[in-house]
Amino acid sequence: MPSLKISSAQMVAEARARIEEIETQDLIAMLEDPNVIVVDIRDIRERQRSGFIPGSFHAPRGMIEFWVDPDSPYFKEVFAQDKKFVFHCASGWRSALTTATLQDMGFEASHLKEGFSTWEKLGGPVTYSEPKE
């Protein structure tokens, strides 16, 4: 197998060096702030299996650039709001890359440093979807 020019770990480290990272406890404290929107970029199956942050908006990582771009046919109005957007995934890797990419596009965002992995352990509320019939 040929070697890569840059590893995924390097990409995440470089992204983290240039984006705003929010600690779990800080985001827990921000949950009641109406000017903060938490965006969950995990796969739908992860949300169903592990639960999710109450009030979070689900935006699959594969579509996020298109959902944020007002010129895209896939644009979602939630991203037109003048609010603080905090993206998260399970461990903070995907959300770091996503936040850096969105920042490159000119969309201001931050991410949950440790991801959902420490959320419940540190007292963050979790909710679950209704089971599908």
- Residue keyed to tokens 């594969």: 62
What's the number of domains the chain is made of?
1
Q: How many residues does the chain have?
A: 133
| 122 belongs to a structural domain | yes
3-state secondary structure of 91: coil
State CA 13 to chain mean position distance.
16
Q: What is the CATH number of the domain that holds 33?
A: 3.40.250.10
pLDDT of residue 132: 53
| 62 belongs to a structural domain | no
Domain span at residue 25 reads 21-50+88-126
pLDDT of residue 1: 72
Query: Which of 30, 36, 74 lies closest to 57 in space, CA to CA?
Result: 36
pLDDT of residue 130: 59
What pTM was estimated for this model as a whole? Answer: 0.93
Positive/negative CA dihedral, 107, 53, 22, 45: negative
| 36 belongs to a structural domain | yes
Alpha carbons 7 and 13: distance in angstroms, whole number: 10
Residues 62-95 have pLDDT tens digits of 999 999 999 999 999 999 999 999 999 999 999 9
| 15 belongs to a structural domain | no
Residues 36-71 have pLDDT tens digits of 999 999 999 999 999 999 999 999 999 999 999 999
Helices vs strands, H then E, count in the chain: 5, 5
